[in-house]
Amino acid sequence: MAKQFKTTTILADSEGKGWVEAQLSEAQVKRLIRAYKRAGVSLTAYGSPNQVLEQVKELSEALAG
């Protein structure tokens, strides 16, 4: 099994209210987001590897364009 990297991640709703702050792997982040979505709460991950990469991509595009 491959080593899963855990990063400090904050799951927040659209109003910026934090619901979860923990050391999570990307798989755990995805599971939590799905679980909260089933309960009617839409969350976004901040600090997760995919979120950070997406932010870097957006900044790169903004600086290039």
Tens of pLDDT, residue by residue, the chain (65 residues): 567 778 888 899 988 899 998 988 888 999 999 999 999 999 988 876 677 777 778 888 888 87
Q: Is residue 40 part of a domain?
A: yes
In b/e form, how buried is each residue of 46-62, taking b as 16+ CB within 10 angstroms?
Answer: bebeebeeeeeeeeeee
* Cross-strand pairs, 21: 10
Q: Which residues form the domain of 21?
A: 7-64
Q: Is residue 14 part of a domain?
A: yes
Q: What is the separation, in whole angstroms, between the first and last Cα of the chain?
A: 41
Q: Is residue 53 part of a domain?
A: yes
C-alpha span between 7 and 37 (Å, rounded): 22
Q: Is residue 23 part of a domain?
A: yes
Per-residue confidence (pLDDT) for residue 1, from 0 to 100: 57
Per-residue confidence (pLDDT) for residue 30, from 0 to 100: 92
What is the total count of domains within the chain? 1
Q: Please, which contacts does 55-60 make with residues 24 or more away whose CB atoms are closer than 8 Å? A: none
Q: Is residue 30 part of a domain?
A: yes
State the pTM of this model.
Answer: 0.67
Q: Is residue 1 part of a domain?
A: no
Q: Is residue 20 part of a domain?
A: yes
Q: Is residue 2 part of a domain?
A: no
